[in-house]
Structure 1
Amino acid sequence: MKCSSSVFNKEMNYNILVFCIAIYFGIVLNIPLWQTFYEILSKLEIVSVGFIISLPIFLIAALNIIFQLLAWPYIGRVLFSVLTFVSAITAYASYHYGIIFDYGMMENIFETNSGEAASYFSLSGLIAIIIIGVVPCLFIIGVKIKKQSFIKTFVIYKLISIVVSILIIILIAALFYKDYASVGRNNKYLNRVINPSYVYTGIKYIDRTYFTKPIPYQKIGTDAKLVTTATSNGKPTLFVFVLGETARSQNYQANGYARPTNQYTQSDNMISFKNVTSCGTATAVSVPCMFSAMNRSNYKKAIAYNQDTFIDILHRAGISILWKENDGGDKGAGDRIQKITLNHSATDPLCDGESCLDMALLNNFHQEVANMKGNKFITLHIMGSHGPTYYKRYPKDRAFFKPDCQRSDIENCTKEQIVNSYDNTILYTDYMISQLIQQLKGYSDKYNTALFYISDHGESLGEGGLYLHGTPYSLAPKYQTTVPMMMWFSKSFTQDRGLNLTCLENIANNAKRGDYSQDNVFSSMLGIMNVNTSVYKPKQDLFRQCRTH
C-alpha cells in the first residue's frame, strides 16, 4: 500500500522507489522467467503451493538487495532508467522469441551490423517497449524524491531493506531448499533467463573483447603445398564455397522435406548430407569455428580470431582467394584475404538501401574470376534465410509459398505464414545456387569447377515456443543445430580428383546425426583442393574415402 500510495502522491522515499523497481522487474520484466517456470513445474507430478508462491518473493528480495547496493544519489535514477529500458527490450525478445541472453547471444548482438539489427524492429514491438520500458523510465526520472538525511534515514532505510530481504531469502531457503535445489539442478539455464542477468554476460563480453590482451597471432600450415595428382588434366580449379545463413536441414526437399524447396537444383544432381551439425547456433560462433582448425569440442574464439583459417592456408599454398560478403561480416575468417562487400545502398534493383538479395553476389562474377590467377577459391557469404524479416530475402515474384509473412514481428503472423516465408528463402537460395552452377558449367572448357554449400546454423520457427536462433547449444533444438550441406562437381573436377560420386552419395544418404559436422569443413577443403599440410586431418576429410588418389 505504501508503494502505490507514494506513486499517487508523486513523492517517494528513495529506498521505496528502489523497492518498487525491484517489484516491477520481479513481476513484469521477468514474465519470460515465469513462463519458463510454468513449463517446468507443469511437468512435475507434485509441486508445493508454498514453493510456487515463494518464487516471485524470492526473486524480488534478491533483486532488492542488488538494486539497493547500486542505488545512490545522482547516479541511481539514471542507472535504473537505462537498466529498465534495456530490460524491456530483452523481456520482449525473450517472451516472443524464446531468446536467452547468454554469452553466445551477447556475441551475436555486439557483432550484428545496423542493417541486420534494424530488421528486428517492428511497430508492435516498439509499442510494447514504450509501454513496459519508456513509461517506467519516465516515472523513475520524473518522480519526486523526499528530502531525507543521508545517514539517519537514507543509509539506515537502505540497510533495513537489505537485511529484511536477506531474512526473507533465508526463510524461503529453510522452507523450500529441496524444491529450489531440485529445480535448479535439473534446469541449470534458469539463471540466464532472469532479467537482468544479461548485464553480467554483457560485461564479460566487453571485458574479453576490448580489455583482454589478444593472444599472439599463430600461423599454422606453414608447410602447405599444392600437389598435382597423377591424372591431372592440366586445367586450373574454380571452386565456389557458398556460406549459408540460418538455413535448417529439415526444410530441404533434398533432405526429405515434403515441399519443393530444392526444385531449381533438382536437375543438377547435387549431393546432400542430411544430418550435419553446426558448431554453434549463431553466426558469431559457427563461422569462425567452421573455418578454424578447431572442433566444436575445443573451440575458443580468442584462438580462432588469431590463427590461420583453411582459407589462409589455401592462399599460402598458391591458390587465388576471393571473399564476397552479403551478410554483415566474415567474423574474422576473411580478415587476411581479398574481400568484396556488397554496397547495400547501391543503385541496384537487387538492393533496397538496407540489404541486397543474394543474386547480387553474382553481379560481376565473370570479371572477378578473370581477375584471379591460377587455381581459384571463391567464398560467397549469403544472407540466405536471415530472420525475422524473411520476406526481404526473396523478391515478391519468387514468393512460391503463400500466404507469406510480410512483417518483422513474426509472432503476429500465423504459423503457416512464417513457414511459407521461411521456405521461400530456402527456395530463393536454391535458385541462386542453380544460377551459379549454370555459370560454373560455362567454364567447363577452362576450369575444373565445383560448388560446396553449407549453412552456419539453423532456425526455430515456433516449435516449443522458440523463434529465430542463438539458443544455448545445450538447450537448442535440432532445428537450430542441423544444417544443410550440399555439393556439386563438374565431370572434369571429379575425374581430376579421382572422386567417386556414387561413393560420396552413399555416405551422404546413410550418414547419421553426429557422423558429420562443421568440424569436417577445415580438412575437407584442404583435401579437395589438393593442399598437402601437416595440419590436415585425414579422418575429418569427408571426401577422402571416395577418392582413388
Structure 2
Amino acid sequence: MKIKNLRFSYTSITIVIAVYFALIINVPIYSELGGILYRLDSVNPGFVATIPLFFIASFNIIFNAFSWPLITKPFFIILLLLSSAASYATFSYGVIFDSDMIVNVIETDSAEASSYISIYSLAWFLFMGGIPSLFLFIVKIEESDPLLFMTMKKSISVIASIVVILIIATLYYQDYASVGRNNSYLKKVIIPTELVYSIGKYVNNEYLSDPLPYKKIGEDAQKTDTHKTKKPTLFVFVLGETARAQNQQLNGYSRKTNQFTSQEGVISFKNVSSCGTATAVSVPCLFSILERENFNRERADKQDNLLDIMQRAGTEMLWVENDSGDKNVAKHIPQITVNRHESQTYCDGQTCFDEAVIQSFIEKTSNADSSQDLMTVLHLIGSHGPTYFKRYPENMRVFTPDCQRADIENCSKEEIVNTYDNTILYTDYVINKVIKELKDLSSKYNTALIYVSDHGESLGENGIYLHGLPYSIAPDFQTHVPMFFWADDNFLKDKKVDSFCLNKIAERNTFSHDNIFHSLLGIMDISTSAYQESKDIFSLCRQ
C-alpha cells in the first residue's frame, strides 16, 4: 500500500505519534535509565517493562490536546524536527534543553551552530525527524464523524491512557517514586516536554511579559586614585570559553598545558566555580551584581553591570569579541568584533584563532588616552566544542592523535582529550602573548591581567560531553573553572598588593564568579555603594 493511500483518524494518528515519541525519539532517557537501573542492587522486571507503556500513555494524553483539524500536521511536524535535534544532542552529548540552554541556543551565532553539524548529526536528524515528518505530511488524516463524536473518541483514548497509568501506578508506584526522587533531573531528559516548556518560557519572557524598567547601579561610582603622580592602570580581562580547571598544568594537571604562562609568575586560583554551565548565563552573571543563587538573565539585562559602573567612574573601556557575542553585557561600551568572514592571518572565513583579538587590543592601546585608566575585555573562543580542532593552529597541535571531526562521540577518549588539551595550550599561548604586550606598555601603564573561563566542559566522563547541564546536576568538570592573575611589579606596588598573600589564598581559598564584580571594582580603586569589600579577592591581600 502506498503511503499516500494510508488514512488515519485524529485519534489513531495521535497514538502513532505517541508511540514514536515514546519508543524512538526518547532513546536518550532509556540510555539514562539503563545506567541508573544497572547501578541498583535489584530491579523489578515488571517495572522496567511498563516504562515504555507509561510514556506512550502519557504522550497520548498530552498530544490529544493538539490533535485537531488544521493544526495536527504543522504542529507535530515542527515538534518532530525540533525533538529529533534535541534527541541527538541529548543522546550524543548529554545536553538537557532547559530554559537556560534554550537561551544559549538562540544566542548562538551561525558559525558556532555550524560546528555541531556532521554527517552523523545530519543522518540522525534525517532519519529520526525528517522522514517521519515527511510521512506525516503525506498521509491523510480525516474524520468521517461529526466533531462531537470525534471528541468523544479522543476522550475515550485519553481515559484509556489514564487507566493504563493508574494501573501502572498501583503496581509499581514505589519503583517509579524511588527512581524519580533519587534522579529528579530525569524529567528534564524527557522529550519533548522539557523542550516545549523551556521554549514557551523563553517566548513568554521575551515577547509576552511586560519588560522590566532599567535600573541604574553604582551611580555614585568614582575613582579614589586620580593618578596625579602615578601612571594609569591598563587592566586586561581575558574571558575564556569552555576551559575547565582540571586540564590546567597550573592546577596540577600532568600535561604541560600552561607551559607559556607558567614562566611568567602567573597566579592560579585553584578553586573557582562558575555562575552557570553555558555562556548565555555565565557571562552576564559574571559581570552582574547579581549572584548565582539569585541570578536572572532578564534582570541582569535591565540593569547596570560592572563595565557600566567602571565606565561611569572614568575608566576607558573596550570589548574585543571573538566568540558568540557579548550576551548584552557590553551594550554601553565600545566594541570591536573580529571579522571572521574574511580570510586573513588568523581567520578562514568561518572562524578565527584567538590571536586575532591581540591586534585589536594593540591598536586600541596605542591610540588610547594614556592619562586614563583603561580596561579591555578580550572574549576568546577558547575551547569551544565540539570542533575543538578548529580552535588551534597546526603549530599548537602538540597532543596527538587528535579528533579532527565535529561528532566527537565517534572519536576515542584519548583523541578527544588530546584535542581539548591543544585548545588549552593555545589559549595559554595567547594569554602569554597578551602579557608580553603588557610588558611592552609598562612605560605608559601599570599593567595587570585576569583570565577566567565562563564555564567548563565534559569530555565523555559518564557518557556526558560538552556543557550546559542544569547546575544542580552538572558535574564538576562543567562548573570548576580556571582563573589566573598576572601583574607587573609597578601595579602590585601601586595597588599595595602582597603577591605572597595572593598566592597563598589562590591555593587555599574557594572563590566563584560572584567575586569578580567586587574584585574588579576594588582593584581599580572605584568607590561605590555597590561594592562589597568582603567579596573582593584582592582586599584580602592589600596592605
TM-score, structure 2 length as denominator? 0.96
Partner of residue 434, structure 1: 432
Contact in 1 for aligned 2:321/2:337 (Cα 8 Å): yes
Asked whether 1:213 is paired with 2:213, we answer no
Which one-letter code corresponds to 2:27 in the other structure? I
2-structure distance, mates of 1:522, 1:471: 25
State the SS of the aligned residue for 1:70: coil
Deviation string for 1:164-199 (max 9, x for gaps)? 111111111122222222222222112111110100
- Report SS of the residue matched to 2:129: helix
Q: State the match for 2:504 in structure 1.
A: 506
Equivalent residue letter for 1:400: V
Matched, 1:547 2:542: yes
Match of 1:119 in 2: 115
The reply to whether residue 165 of structure 1 matches residue 161 of structure 2 is: yes
CA pair 37-442 structure 1, distance change in 2 beyond 3 A: same
2:240 counterpart residue number = 244
Q: Deviations over 1:464-489 (max 9, x none)?
A: 11000000000000000000000110
What amino acid does structure 1 have at the position aligned with 2:217? I
**Offset at residue 43 of structure 1 (A):** 2.0
Task: After TM superposition, give the deviation of residue 229 of structure 1 in Å.
Answer: 8.4
The aligned counterpart of 1:340 is 336
Distance 1:223 1:141 in 2: 61
Question: Match of 2:421?
Answer: 423
CA distance in 2, matches of 1:14, 1:36: 32
User: Which residue of 87, 90, 107 maps to 2:86?
Assistant: 90
Given that residues 233 and 496 in structure 1 are in contact (C-alpha distance below 8 angstroms), is that contact kept between their aligned partners in structure 2?
A: no
Letter in 1 for 2:200: I
Give, in angstroms, the shift of residue 210 of structure 1. Answer: 2.0
1:227 matched residue in structure 2:
224
2:3/2:135 contact within 8 Å kept: no
| 1:355-396 deviations in Å (ceiling 9; x for gaps) | 211100011433211332211010001100000010111112
SS of aligned partner of 1:28 = helix
* Match in the other structure for 1:380: 378
Q: Give the partner amino acid of 1:117.
A: A
User: What corresponds to 1:528 in structure 2?
Assistant: 523
What CA distance in whole angstroms lies between the structure 1 residues aligned with 2:398 and 2:353?
16
- State the distance in 1 between where 2:97 and 2:361 align: 39
Q: CA deviation at 1:11?
A: 3.0
* Aligned-partner residue type, residue 540 of structure 1: K
Deviation at 1:7, TM superposition (A): 7.1
Q: Whole-Å Cα distance in 1 between the matches of residues 507 and 80 of structure 2?
A: 51
Residues of 2 paired with 1:263 and 1:448: CA distance? 25
SS of the equivalent of 2:355 reads helix
Number of residue pairs aligned between Structure 1 and Structure 2: 540
Q: Distance in 2 between matches of 1:354 and 1:98?
A: 26
Contact 1:281 1:457 (C-alpha < 8 Å) held by counterparts: yes
Which one of 21, 27, 33 corresponds to residue 25 of structure 1? 21
1:255 aligns with 2:251: yes
Write the distance in 2 (CA, Å) between the matches of 1:447 and 1:35: 56
Distance 1:166 1:109 in 2: 35
- 2:196 maps to what in 1? 199
Equivalent AA in structure 1 for residue 392 of structure 2 = Y
Decide whether the 8 Å contact of 1:229 with 1:496 is kept in 2: no
Q: Sort the Cα spacing of 1:152 and 1:532 in 2 relative to 1 into closer, same or farther, 3 A.
A: closer
When residues 8 and 340 of structure 1 are mapped into structure 2, their CA distance, relative to the original with a 3 A threshold, is closer
User: What CA distance in whole angstroms lies between the structure 1 residues aligned with 2:38 and 2:418?
Assistant: 32
SS of equivalent residue, structure 1 residue 238? strand
With over 3 angstroms needed to count, the CA separation of the structure-2 counterparts of 1:152 and 1:531, relative to structure 1, is closer
Task: Give the 3 Å change call, closer, same or farther, for CA 9–171 of structure 1 in structure 2.
Answer: farther
Alignment of 1:22-171 (within 5 A): 22-145=18-141, 148-151=144-147, 154-171=150-167
Instruction: List 4+ stretches of structure 1 deviating above 4 A.
Output: 5-9
Name stretches of at least 5 consecutive residues in structure 2 with no aligned partner: none
Looking at structure 1, the residues matched to 171 and 92 of structure 2 have their Cα atoms a distance apart, in angstroms, of 34
The answer on whether the counterparts of 2:143 and 2:150 sit within 8 Å (CA) in structure 1 is no
Determine the structure 1 residue equivalent to 2:299.
Answer: 303
Q: Which residue of 2 aligns with 1:188?
A: 184
Structure 1 alignment gaps of length 5 or more: none
Describe the shift of the 1:364–1:189 C-alpha distance in structure 2 as closer, same or farther (beyond 3 A): closer
* Aligned residue among 254, 265, 280 for 1:269: 265
In 2: Cα distance, 1:58 partner to 1:467 partner:
29
Report if the CA contact (8 A) 2:271-2:480 is conserved: yes
Following superposition, the deviation at residue 152 of structure 1 comes to 6.8
2:9 counterpart residue number: 13
* CA distance in structure 2 between the aligned counterparts of 1:146 and 1:300, rounded to whole angstroms: 46
In structure 2, C-alpha distance between the alignment counterparts of 1:187 and 1:364, rounded to whole Å:
48
Between 138-147 and 353-362, report the one with greater CA deviation. Answer: 138-147
Paired letter, 1:223: D
Deviations 1:211-243 (A, max 9, x none): 22221111111111111289x861111110000
Against the structure 1 CA distance between its residues 94 and 275, is the aligned structure 2 distance closer, same or farther, given a 3 Å change threshold? same
Q: Which moved more, 1:65-74 or 1:254-263?
A: 65-74
TM-align CA RMSD:
1.7
Question: In 2, are the aligned partners of 1:324 and 1:342 still within 8 Å (CA)?
Answer: yes
| Identity within the alignment, % | 49
